[in-house]
Amino acid sequence: MRPKIYLFGDSITEESFGDGGWGSSLAHHFARTVDVVLRGYSGYNTRWAVKVAERVFGAAEGGGGGVNNEEPLVVTVFFGANDACLPNRCSAFQHVPLDEYKRNLRSIVSFLKKRWPTTRILLITPPPIDEDGRLRHPYIENPSNEPERTNEAAGAYAKACVKLAGECGIPVIDLWTKMQQFPDWKNACLRLGFEINPETRQIPPDEKTTSRTKKKEETLDKDDLYLVRIPAILRPSLRDGLHLTRSGNEIVFEEVVKKLAEEGFSPETLPVDLPLITEIDPRDPLKSFQQ
């Protein structure tokens, strides 16, 4: 059986297997060496994650009622964006106080270590927040017309996550800090000198480019700015002030791959599942499958 990497988190994890998502990129990166298993739950915070951890990881995948004893290589734990919702705003039901957030993360880490002592655990902090983006894209009715999340609050939870990782002696990706190292990470598109026409949903003709599906002169949605041929470092990272664009997913993917390589996990260090085509003898193909 191939070893596994579990991705445990909220909507940023749940969406990671979409086109260009960091999870699907990870699965492609480890093709033929690791099965990347998605365990993402949109809207969840660490309080809810603690409650469901036994159900998420407890039952054997092969049937029966026992615990799955096959230890995965890695589990990524990516929570905090919902915990950091403000307690007096429209998404207050998702809010978890900072001290509890840290305790919950510790509980999740302890649960995983007890379940699988040799499994590496990789924490990922919540991303930064574009508050204007959150006002433009509210998930529920927002009578106060104030963002339910702020970048300052997200930063506090990110720092708590980094601190907890240090206390537990496990690796962490400080996504909140990393993403903000890119120039004008919130509004990079505006720096290029053009905007999408809000009525036609188009960009100026001289800025259009061929999409991955090779449909030329395609009308682009605001969420599809990655189709424009601009450097990745200048592309916006958040599509609605919270969730990741293709460029944001690229940042997560690259950081996860880097951390995993530091832990000794890469396609070069892991055995390949079954013989490669280059290893099969054309004169006696079945001989390669006798081992």
What residues are annotated to the active site?
11, 240, 243
**How many whole angstroms separate alpha carbon 239 and alpha carbon 236?**
7
Strand order in the sheet with 120-124: 35-40, 4-9, 74-78, 120-124, 172-173
Count CA atoms closer than 13 A to 105's CA, side-chain side: 35
What b/e sequence results for 44-58 when a residue is b if at least 16 CB atoms lie within 10 Å of its CB, and e otherwise? bbbbbbbeebeeebe
Q: Amino acid identity, residue 1?
A: M
- Alpha carbon of 180 to those of 20, 185, 186, 188, 251: distances in Å? 21, 6, 9, 12, 11
Token look-up 């890119």 returns: 182
Closest of 166, 89, 157 to residue 129, by C-alpha: 157
Helices and strands (DSSP H and E) totals, the chain:
8, 5
Beta partners for residue 74, in sequence order:
5, 120
Q: Are 124 and 171 in contact (CB under 8 A)?
A: no
